[in-house]
Every structure is written in C-alpha cells, then in structure tokens.
Amino acid sequence: MSRVILDFPTGFHSDARRAGWTVDETVRRADEALKRIKRKDILWVGPVQGGVHIKEVARSAVEMGKRPFSIYALGSPTELMEAQRFDVLVDMIVAAKKGLPHARPLHLFGAGHPAMFPFIVALGCDLFDSAAYALYARTGRYLTSDGTQELAEIEEFSCMCRICDSITPEELRHLDTPEREQLLSKHNLLACFSELHRIREAIRRGHLWELLEHRAYANPAFKKFLAKIIQHSSLLEQFTPTVKPRGISHFGEASNNRPEMVRYSVRRSRVRVERGKFVILLPGRWRRPYHEDPRNLPIVSKLANRSNVSICFYTIPFGPVPMELDETFPLAQTESFDSHDPRMYGQKAEQVAAWVKRLSPKQVFLISEGEYGATLGKELSGATSNLKVIRVQAKGSKPDRTVGSIIRRLG
Ligand SMILES: [Zn+2]
C-alpha cells in the first residue's frame, strides 16, 4: 500500500512565486508528516511540486530527495497533458529525475494514457495514474497505444482483449451507461497493461528506443515529444546499458541522436590518434563488422599491419568508424538502411571529414563508392586545402587491384 502525504499541488495557473510557495509548503508538510509516520507497512510518497516552473521543480526534487520517502511523485497538471504540451512535461520530468535518488521509483501523477507510457518510461518514470482509464471511459473514450478513439466513431475494434472480442462497438454503445462505462474502462485498463507488457518486453530486448521512434509516427505531438527527449539524449545515455542482448536499429535522422549514438561519438572522440599517417577511407556497407566485407577484406588485410596506415570506414549509421572501434557494440549489430538522402550523406560526410582532419594525415586514399563517396570526396577537398586526397573508385569485384594501386603510392 502506498499513500501520498498531504501536499500542496502547484497546478497549471500558478506564477513562479506561487509555485515557489507550494514547493516550500510541501517540504514543510513533508517534514511534519515524517515526524508523525509510525506505520512501516505503508510506502509513503513524497510529491515533487513546481508545476511548469522548471527551476522550482528542480529545487523541489532536491529538497524532497533529501527526505526518506519510499516513492517520489511528480505533480503534473492534467491541463498540460490535455493540451499535449509534452515539451514542458519532458523538462519537468528531467528536472525532477536529476534531483531525486535514482534508486527510488518515480510516479507521474495524471499520466494514465498508454500512448504516453513508452516516452515517460524512457525518461525514468516507473508508476502511472491509476484512475485515468476509468475517467476516459466515463467520457466515452477508447484508449489505444496509438492514441484515443471516440467510442461513438468506432466501427470495428482492433483490440482483441476479452471485452472487445465479446462485443461490437455498436452493441457497446447501446448498453446502459453504467454497464457501458464498466466494459469500456475494463478495455482501457487492459490496453494500459498490454502497453506495459510491450514496454517491459522492449526493455528486455534493448529496444525501447525503437518503440519510441515507432510511436512518434502515431501523432505529430508524439513526434515533438520524441524530439524533446532527444535534447536530453546525453542524460539518457548515462542510464543506457553499454551492451544489449540484441543490436539496435538506425532508421535515419531520429536515430542519429539515440543514446547509443551519443555514446559512440563520445567514445570515438576519446580514441587516441596518431597523426601524420596515410588514411584509407573505405565504404562501410551492410556487411559487418565492416572490415569483414569481402570487398574490404583484401584491402584491410594487406594494409592494417602497416604502422604508417590508419583505416577508417565511412558508414551511414555511425559516420566515421575507425578500425579500432569496428568490433565494439553496437556497431557490428546495428541494422540500418541507405535512404539515398543527399542531406544524410552530407551530414555523415562532414563527420568523416572532421575525423580525418583530427588525424592530420600525410595523405588520404578515398575508396569512393556511390553518391556517399562522391559527397565525401567534395567534403574532404573543401575541409582542408592542403590535404592530399587520392580518389580510387571502388571497383566492386576487384579489391586486389585497388589495394595494389594504393600500395604503389604508399612507396
Ligand atoms: Zn480491448
């Protein structure tokens, strides 16, 4: 059993001063309550106030976090969720999480819609509103993982829960109000549970981010939700497992900033580089690890042991992949696709060029393939005027010839 102490909710319309006062008053009441609490069989909940005033939320979280509650909760105004102001909600949750002890669960008040669950779980919330499913049912709203539907407008149920499987929308609409509400709220509750199962399973597989990206397409407001979460990607990265049971997927732009990608670019920036070598740039194709690509292997095997050569792959998901990192997680386990988007080529080529610049190479051999290779060639010659770039067209079936011509030039 859990119980919330008698707090003072900030609400939606408070100004910063009023919000500050609700924070102080809640802390005062928390101290009062903690003095009186005797029963050990109740999990006491410490509420974090501040509403939409992020600084106040942060202050409240730090203060409440110092006090020994079993569960913490963030007061989130329902108006905020109704208006789908998920951007503000993200900032509130992040501010609260930063101040609270991570080992304790966080409950998000007012969040009871299954479509929101993956996003708020990704931000570190553990518990949700337990009344929302019934409140939605009272106003004839049918919850799905993609959003809300009006019972009045549904012709067929796509859900196969025991309620939806036993009745048609038309029949449900004709039931008496109490019975209709009861059945509808049962479906709503099952939809919440089903979503929680899906999220837990996604976490086990290391695929929560994939679920977020998938969900972002259900509704433009969710796309914004994810875009806002991406701004906090480096925070999320700290709590993302370094190794996962399965590889990850790269779907394009939204995946560029997923926590694993942020981690990879940090790790890459820490790789110790030796300057003044010959740099060989090879296309990183679908075959991974990239050096095992049959079109790369003959080149890599003849050049990798030369002390004056540094090998790097130019790839779609990760941009530059120096040989040293080719076999680290999740590089070899990432599924991606080439959208042939010139903008993507441009972005990635820029990253590769920045990496090459860091190596201050003696000379660069670009094994150029396709449009990506051509874009990279342009980027390299633009990046540094005194950089010697030798372009070799990748001739799919003749890597031996390619390596031969490189070796001749290495001297
Ligand atoms: Zn159902």
**Are 323 and 377 contained in the same domain?**
yes
**Are 158 and 292 contained in the same domain?**
no
The residues facing 319 across adjacent strands are 315
Q: Looking at 230, 249, 281, which one is the last position of a domain?
A: 230
The residues facing 44 across adjacent strands are 3
Neighbours of 384 (CB within 10 A): 15
The token duo for 378 is 């342009």
% of the chain residues with pLDDT over 70:
99
Phi and psi based region of residue 157 (left: phi greater than 0; alpha: psi -120 to 50; beta: remaining): beta
Burial of 203 (0-12, 13-18, 19+ CB in 10 A): middle
**Are 46 and 176 contained in the same domain?**
yes
**Domain that includes residue 289, residue range:** 258-410
Ligand 1 centroid, distance to 174 Cα (angstroms) = 17
**Are 200 and 335 contained in the same domain?**
no
The residues facing 143 across adjacent strands are 148
Query: Which pLDDT does position 71 carry in this prediction?
Result: 95
CATH code, 201: 3.20.20.105
42 belongs to a structural domain: yes
| Torsion sign across C-alpha atoms 164, 166, 171, 176 | negative
Query: Which pLDDT does position 385 carry in this prediction?
Result: 67
CATH code, 367: 3.40.50.10630
Least confident range of 48-52, 81-85, 197-201, 348-352: 81-85
239 belongs to a structural domain: no
The residues facing 73 across adjacent strands are 47, 107
Ligand 1 centroid, distance to 284 Cα (angstroms) = 45
**Are 153 and 34 contained in the same domain?**
yes
Q: Is the pLDDT of residue 201 over 70?
A: yes
Ligand 1 centroid, distance to 211 Cα (angstroms) = 21
Q: Is the pLDDT of residue 1 over 80?
A: no
State mean pLDDT over 264-286: 93
Ligand 1 centroid, distance to 30 Cα (angstroms) = 40
**Are 403 and 344 contained in the same domain?**
yes
**Are 201 and 267 contained in the same domain?**
no
Identify the CA nearest to 56 among candidates 85, 89, 25, 23.
23
Length of the chain: 411
127 belongs to a structural domain: yes
| Count of domains forming the chain | 2
The token duo for 360 is 């201050």
The token duo for 255 is 């995946």
Amino acid at 327: E
| Torsion sign across C-alpha atoms 401, 403, 406, 411 | negative
**Are 62 and 104 contained in the same domain?**
yes
pTM of the predicted structure, to 2 decimals: 0.89
Upper half-sphere CA count for residue 21 (Cβ side, 13 Å): 6
Q: What span, in angstroms and rounded, lies between the C-alpha atoms of 306 and 168?
A: 71
**Are 210 and 273 contained in the same domain?**
no
293 belongs to a structural domain: yes
Query: Which pLDDT does position 353 carry in this prediction?
Result: 96
Ligand 1 centroid, distance to 176 Cα (angstroms) = 19
